[in-house]
Amino acid sequence: MATVIVWMKEGMMMNKKTKYLVTVSLAAALAMVLLLFRVSLPFLPPFYKLDFSESVVILAGYILNAKATIIIQLLKNILKIVTSSTNSAFVGDLANFIMGVSFVFPAVAIYKRKEDKQSMVLGLAVGIVILTIASCFVNYYIMLPAYAAIFKMPIEDIVAMGSRLNSNITDLFTFVIFATAPFNLIKGTSNALIVLLVWKNIKVLFKK
């Protein structure tokens, strides 16, 4: 992580176009690596795995701009597809991209308006809310039905995975309310906390 930050700092000394390309490329590579180290949460279905790659995308967005986060998200998922196998027929990768953008873009866009602590906290909070809402729609209308169709399994089997962990889950709607929403709330909050903890030091480094 420290080495990547040093490289990004060196990129700041280059012309704007080169700096942009270097920062985007390094951020996408680091985010992809973090995406590979995912952990399951014991109280949620096993296909919901927590990762901290969004924190890198947000930090890179703070350095560059909100539009850069979309490119980094896209590259991150492409790199993941190219370098590792998928067991979701790319449905998970598409969902990761859509929900990732829904989180990082507003978080960075709001921060870049004033670039102070208040705008950073507000941006992260708004990003978490949008991520949580977007994840419910994406899972309800796209991801979970696609999983069921691709793997030729009844949607009830997916619901049952959640029911075994939470008796409040009885159908697809309650699945996204009691499994999808909490997972993305946790994911967004954990990534936001990392950003809050490290951005001050990284910002100082880039100002030197």
Q: Can you give the pTM of this predicted structure?
A: 0.88
CA dihedral of residues 63, 64, 66, 69 (deg, nearest 10)? -90
Residue 153 lies in domain: 2-207
Q: How far is CA 91 from the centre of its chain?
A: 15
Q: State both tokens at 38.
A: 């995912």
Query: Token pair 């701009």 is at which residue?
Result: 65
How many separate domains does the chain show?
Answer: 1
164: nearest Cα among 43, 19, 25:
43
Domain CATH code at residue 6: 1.10.1760.20
Task: Give the Cα separation of 175 and 157 in Å (integer).
Answer: 12
Q: Residues 23, 60: contact at Cβ < 8 Å?
A: yes
Q: Please report, in tens digits, the pLDDT of each residue of the chain (208 residues total).
A: 555 555 555 555 567 788 889 889 999 999 999 988 889 999 999 889 999 999 999 999 999 999 999 999 999 999 988 887 666 667 778 888 999 999 999 999 999 999 999 999 999 999 999 999 999 999 999 889 988 888 888 999 999 999 999 999 999 999 999 999 999 999 999 999 999 999 988 877 765 5
Alpha helices in the chain (DSSP H): 2-12, 16-36, 53-63, 66-83, 91-114, 117-138, 144-150, 155-163, 172-175, 181-207
Task: Give the Cα separation of 133 and 115 in Å (integer).
Answer: 25
